[in-house]
Structure 1
Amino acid sequence: MSQTDAGWGAGPGVRYEALAADFRPVFGRIAAGAVSRDRERRLPHDEIGWLKESGFTTLRLARGQGGFGASLPELFALLIELSQADPNVTNALRAHFGFTEDALCAASPEWRERWIGRIADRQTVGSGVSETGEAKVGQFDTVLRREGGQWRLDGRKFYTTGSLFADWIHLSAQDEAGEAVVAAVPVRAPGVEIVDDWDGFGQALTASGTARFTGVVLGPDLVKPDPARFPYAMAFFQLVHLATLAGIGRAAALDLARLVSERTRIYSHGNAGRSGDDPQVLGVVGRVRGAAYAAGATVLKAAEAVQRVHDAHLAGPGEAAEAAAAIADLEVNQAVTVVTDLVLDATTILFDALGASAVKGGLGLDRHWRNARTIASHNPRIYRDRIVGDFAVNGTQPPRQYRVGSA
């Protein structure tokens, strides 16, 4: 069934349905096991493997490069659909899709072509950026030191989302002089240890735990010549979270509608002989679905702004690209609180349309709120409204980078 026929609105562009048709059978297989995986804490190794086999991880590469030539709005529309199936899988691939953008925008032709080739070969990349510890804001305890013609990596990362499923880790560190350095680390290199110790109550299957690096030797070809990230990195990574939330909203809406339609028990003080005919119950169902619809529409509108940055950057870095990047950051910031509130509210009130049996673990309805609440806790939304307000009143541009560390 197309998005239009399902009532979620047309996808971005006339070819979207043909593009999505290649992946919807895989999304269906992923969705079929989502509740049991969550209950059993079973990591989605197979599910990510299915996506790699289908070519999903190559979406943004041009067809001539071995991909599908998907636009950014098409990518985000597909991430909403994948998140409807299982938001853990989307989050586990977030770093990979970000690294893909980084490769496509890389200033070094050698770096760009090398990594486009590896992505075309269905190799994937996980995250090795964030740390917990005493490092100051903007600095890292993880260090890459030059040793002869090689580099030696030592350190520890946390929130290494997706790395346990990947072939490479996209790593941010500093060199012996304290300068920023970016590298790609083979997951199976000697001295690399990835531990699944993420114990969050949501997004529990993303392997967002610890990675340790002890004397890992890297060749110079694995250190990025320019550590700068692609110009729309902040907007892109946050928008992946918003697409994930929109997909969670859709899954919650569909689960709720199905359970109401199946419900045979009623309350004596209700409004109909069948729950599916009770106007108050139907009102809750409609409110949840409307929230999911609005969240998805907002994500796709913001994705258009991110696409404009990409296009401006390829036309030539300069003032136009910088201005487009600032507006994209603004649009995504404007969307954060709205989308978050819509989905958190929807995943809470859905229980109002059901009975006490809806809280039974076998249904897995609680996972929608747990996953949404966990996603919403990344890059705290409390700062977003202030940033937007400062732009509206004072013309202040949104910050171009976010960093975490000790004060």
Structure 2
Amino acid sequence: MSTHLSILFTVKRSKISSKGLVPIHLRVTVDGKRLEITTGRFIEPEKWCTESGKVKGRSADVREINTYLDILRSRIYAIQKDLIQSGEIISVEEIRNKLTGIEDSKKLLLLIFSDHNLKMEQLIGNEYAKGTLVRYKSCCRHLKNFLRFKYNLSDIDISKVNLEFINNFEHYLRTKDENPCSNNSAVKYIKNLSKVIRICLANEWLNRDPLIGYKSKYTEVNRKFLDEAELRKIELKEFNIERIEIVRDMFVFSCYTGLSFIDVRNLTADHIGVGIDGRKWIFTARQKTKISSHIPLLDKAEKILLKYKDYPMGGYRAKKLLPIPANQKMNSYLKEVADLCGITKELTFHIARHTFATTVTLSNGVSIESVSKMLGHKSIKTTQIYAKIMDRKVSDEMDSLGDLLNKKEKSLRGIS
């Protein structure tokens, strides 16, 4: 006897929330009997497309929801297939039991990944930064495309994820037709995937770690920084445009504190205290790593804080100490700062942090241990990258000195 099954996604406009969002419901019909459950996803009513049964738009959030709906649809068809193969009766009750009975259902990679991302999204600003979520969503999207490209699947049982799968995914990332990933980007995406795999191992959904035997490493990137002369140029330059002057000041503040963009943006009076030497210090924890960072407040940084002490900042930024613009605007304006100061290096806000580590501290005799603590690094190995930069700088300067001494030697021989 044939069984007719239909799947439909709808929105419940009668259940609009105080935030103006409506829930997306899943409706499964088997031979006229209906099962309807919520998907746990909410959207603005005008973004729903009734014809396609999907959310309209191309934003990352929209793609995540539509991917989740596709996964649910695939899951139901997989349940139907399992019931047929096992000779069981296909009914809305059986589908409900298998769909909601987590312990009895197959564990699908993208479904687990999407659930991880949803939980991460709920902790933005608390345990995670928005940029971290963006990277995990991007990884999930790459996995979805990879499954379609390599296996013609919308999802895959986590038990089938092995070392071959991992290596194939990495190869896909490096060679895909549209925007192939660099070595470091590919390795980062595998690292994102490894977190989801650890969740599966912890829940005993996997019997063996598929990453055992996987080998790949980051390519060391030469970190740019400003030398003393370049930093001095930026500090002394007078600007007639206020927004450019503010951006310069924020950049210089970071050069003398080592704080990242987000940590400068979040700085409040609560982060300023008195250190063991009786002077003002910055006491904070890096948003990225949650590692404590204690930084003596140098005079040049303190002068910038005093300069903007009474600067008007309303709304949610009223308690912040500095009027730093959004990161994208910041880096755009920094290009103008570089042009006006005659600096050819591509200036980004993160270069300020590198400059603090090299030109301001290490080159002036501050120990690498102290620099590591001020930067809030988890491991001193991270800070040693800057020490290598300084060694390279010494090597280059000694090469120049060698050339100069050789020229003097030749000149002396010519005179004699």
Structure 1 and Structure 2 fold alike (TM over 0.5): no
Structure 1 length normalisation: TM-score?
0.26
